[in-house]
Amino acid sequence: MDLVPALEEPLRQPLKSVLGPATAKVMAEHLGLLTVGDLLHHYPRRYEERGQLTHLADLPMDEHVTVVAQVADARLHTFASAKAPRGKGQRLEVTITDGSGRLQLVFFGAGVHKPHKELLPGTRAMFAGKVSVFNRRLQLAHPAYELLRGDPEESVETWAGALIPIYPATAKLESWKIGKAIQTVLPTAQEAADPLPDTLREGRGLVPLPEALLKIHRPHTKADIEDARSRLKWDEAFVLQVALARRRHADAQLPAVPRKPAPDGLLTAFDARLPFTLTDGQQRVSREIFDDLATDHPMHRLLQGEVGSGKTMVALRAMLAVVDAGGQAAMLAPTEVLAQQHHRSVVEMMGELAEGGMLGGAEQGTKVVLLTGSMGAAARRHALLDLATGEAGIVIGTHALIEDKVQFHDLGLVVVDEQHRFGVEQRDALRGKGKQPPHLLVMTATPIPRTVAMTVFGDLETSVLDQLPAGRSPIASHVVPAADKPHFLSRAWERVREEVENGHQAYVVCPRIGDEEDEPKKSAKKKSPEDEAEKRPPLAVLDVAGHLSKGPLQGLRVEVLHGRMHPDDKDAVMRRFAAGETHVLVATTVIEVGVNVPNATAMVIMDADRFGVSQLHQLRGRVGRGSAPGLCLLVTEMPEASPARQRLGAVASTLDGFELSRIDLEQRREGDVLGQAQSGARTSLKVLAVIEDEEIIAQAREEATAVVASDPELTHLPALRTALDALLDEEREQYLEKG
């Protein structure tokens, strides 16, 4: 393994430390920086020009900020307090300005002496601290500061034009201390091994890595910063895409049993009994899947589809094709409610074809079994026997399918519903149940922008279903501002009554269940509360259901559904709702995926600001599934100007899931998105922005695929191998292994 000794050197060692031991400790604990290389890759968040200062007018509340400003005046006050009863208490108030606004700094007690001597009017300095409000004015209490003294030799011009890097910092370590530490190790950047192949780097006009590190930490001009960022973005995109390309290459070497459907078999019989024609999109995606199933290495395909675009139909046809070819198919669902729902709808769609005898026999039918954790012992034994003998061609279940006891006769296809709810280990355990690796189809109803799909699911080929089947109705969405306009909420409940009077049903969704076990969640700390709406606990199913039954929806049949109910009770509630016996279902997000009740036309989402954009889009997809138009009301107490209200406005304004997922991604950091998808592993993206840098990611994917095709072990690119080792720490390595 080709290590780069200088960059691998730990910042903190028993005998000698690169930095002071206290600084090294804070860097390790608060910023995750352990080696010289880690520190060099801790890039500035932005740059200050000494001649042109941060806008004090735009300071965010409750955040650690670094500002460059000039002292306007400084006054020392004395006061009496419990600690200094004789009026000996001292308070230094310093006002700083940057032309756009003014900000007060306060120092107390013994802490006033040094700043009183140093912060004289006209002095310029960098100040760092947490912005708070006192007497309706913004202030920094006891900020750390660093005076900006130009060397006498430096001309005023160069001093004013210099770029000061501002680093992601913590309360324990200010930006300029990080900057000083980086300047200490910057000479070792010359020894950084370049992971990009020379031909690629020269062909794309990118600067070498040592030069990029130098320019990002000590730029002379804005062009330096641009050069460095372009180069470092390529590093991140390329190394990640090489990891994924190697994964795809390794998968292509695995053996799998080709599964070609028999002519005039189960699939043909199923298609013949369909009461509708498949959409063009369903036919196209089915062809892509059937082509993959016919090959002798495992399919790894991601099927993305808007809510209600008919993904389940496409997945079922793939499962039937595998059964036709003599294999078995397993569908893994994230919840029991969803597994039962899928089982019911598959059996209904297949009719008598779901009551078949032996697999591969002359009869076209097969058995469809359900396997969940809460089944009775006898039913479970029966289901396990059907799987082991091959009597059951299709099994639908929860993670109970993964248990050791579950044995398959010949597992040919695994379908995973709602990828983001399944741990990588669970998918891996299920794939390990085939004699040879089974084909894998992952379905998600969360539309993922193309670049995120390439970055997060880069080891899967992607199919997209983007047209809705005929007969699906439009959904009107509106924001209901309950605090500003309480009468809007009253009108919302009237609309629910009107839908019920017209023979339809409604959902009411709440963020919380509301029984005692749930209470501790109240204390979850909220960052920057926007107003009282943020501070109160989220509305709960049990409270809201009681309020509606006695109040606005009195006389209607209202039932509750949540994740802590006994599975039989949940199933009974869903059956009554599906049969139209219940008018209004008050539920948590257990109804988010897969629940299909075409007669439900209205949905009211309480505290809608507590849900993510994609989740709201998922929930909304539960209505408008029949011929009557759907209605989704997003209830919130957030003030009009708040980001939460803007987010809800975006959801109300479009039904395009891909557009919403872009908005969602722009509002969160890429790290959140990747971190979640990478099974909790730390994200490696520091300068690459998944949405903005679409072109770089697409080009990096092409380059990576070509490099891996010609040299799968990267024998001729030792520096790239080293970079991969750094990226793929154990956790990520496992993630990609199991992808």
pLDDT at 469: 65
Question: Who has greater pLDDT, 474 or 511?
Answer: 511
Q: 227-241, 296-310, 314-328, 377-391 — which is least confidently predicted?
A: 296-310
pLDDT tens digits along 528-572: 434 444 557 788 888 899 999 999 999 999 999 988 888 788 888
Of all residues in the chain, what percent carry a pLDDT higher than 70? 81
Type of residue found at 9: E
CA–CA distance, 298 with 429 (Å, rounded to integer): 16
Type of residue found at 471: G
Q: In the structure, what pLDDT confidence band is assigned to residue 681 with cuts at 50, 70 and 90?
A: very low
CA–CA distance, 434 with 427 (Å, rounded to integer): 12
Q: Is the pLDDT of residue 683 over 50?
A: no
Q: Is the pLDDT of residue 425 over 70?
A: no
Number of neighbours of residue 13 by Cβ within 10 angstroms: 11
CB 119 within 8 A of CB 145: yes
Number of neighbours of residue 193 by Cβ within 10 angstroms: 16
Question: Who has greater pLDDT, 733 or 283?
Answer: 283
Cα atoms in the Cβ-side hemisphere of radius 13 Å centred on 323: 36
262: Cβ contacts below 8 Å, ≥ 6 apart: 324, 325
CA–CA distance, 575 with 569 (Å, rounded to integer): 10
Q: In the structure, what pLDDT confidence band is assigned to residue 737 with cuts at 50, 70 and 90?
A: very low
Instruction: State the pairing for strand pair 392-397/367-371.
Output: parallel
187: Cβ contacts below 8 Å, ≥ 6 apart: none
The gap from C-alpha 640 to its chain's centroid, in whole angstroms, comes to: 26
CA–CA distance, 328 with 306 (Å, rounded to integer): 27
pLDDT tens digits along 599-608: 999 999 999 9
Question: Who has greater pLDDT, 159 or 232?
Answer: 232
Of all residues in the chain, what percent carry a pLDDT higher than 90? 27
Instruction: State the pairing for strand pair 505-509/600-605.
Output: parallel
CA–CA distance, 243 with 681 (Å, rounded to integer): 14
Give which of 45, 63, 137, 47 is closest to 96, Cα–Cα.
137
Question: Who has greater pLDDT, 513 or 176?
Answer: 513
Chain length of the chain: 739
Give the pair of three-digit tokens for residue 594. Answer: 């897969």
Q: What is the mean pLDDT of residues 288-309?
A: 87
Give one DSSP letter per residue of 123-154, joined into a string: -EEEEEEEEEEETTEEEEES-EEEE----TTS
CA–CA distance, 252 with 693 (Å, rounded to integer): 28
pLDDT at 371: 92
pLDDT at 50: 54
Write phi, then psi, for 625 (nearest 5 degrees).
-90, -5
Q: Is the pLDDT of residue 516 over 70?
A: no
Q: What is the mean pLDDT of residues 249-256?
A: 85
CB 592 within 8 A of CB 565: no
Q: Is the pLDDT of residue 704 over 90?
A: yes
pLDDT at 161: 52
In the three-class reduction of DSSP (H, G, I as helix; E, B as strand; rest coil), residue 687 is classed as coil
pLDDT at 154: 44
Q: In the structure, what pLDDT confidence band is assigned to residue 417 with cuts at 50, 70 and 90?
A: confident
Give the pair of three-digit tokens for residue 281. Answer: 């999109």
H/E run at residue 341 = helix 336-350
Number of neighbours of residue 563 by Cβ within 10 angstroms: 13
Give the pair of three-digit tokens for residue 726. Answer: 């750094």
Q: 337-351, 374-388, 419-433, 707-721 — which is least confidently predicted?
A: 419-433
CA–CA distance, 309 with 311 (Å, rounded to integer): 6
Q: What is the mean pLDDT of residues 9-23?
A: 67
Q: In the structure, what pLDDT confidence band is assigned to residue 384 with cuts at 50, 70 and 90?
A: very high
Write phi, then psi, for 486 (nearest 5 degrees).
-60, -30
Please work out, in degrees rounded to the nearest 5, the angle formed at the alpha carbon of residue 82 by the alpha carbons of 77 and 88: 35
- CA Rg value for the chain: 30
Cα atoms in the Cβ-side hemisphere of radius 13 Å centred on 662: 12
> Directed axis angle between helix 209-217 and helix 222-253, to 10°?
130
CB 601 within 8 A of CB 500: no
Question: Who has greater pLDDT, 456 or 586?
Answer: 586
Question: Who has greater pLDDT, 1 or 620?
Answer: 620
> How high does pLDDT run on average in the chain?
80
Give which of 295, 251, 302 is closest to 737, Cα–Cα.
251
Number of neighbours of residue 486 by Cβ within 10 angstroms: 12
Question: Who has greater pLDDT, 402 or 731?
Answer: 402
pLDDT at 170: 77
pLDDT tens digits along 161-218: 568 888 887 777 878 788 888 888 888 888 888 899 999 999 999 999 999 999 999 9
Q: Is the pLDDT of residue 225 over 60?
A: yes
pLDDT tens digits along 34-80: 888 888 888 998 887 654 445 677 777 766 677 878 899 999 988 77
CA–CA distance, 99 with 89 (Å, rounded to integer): 32
pLDDT at 398: 86
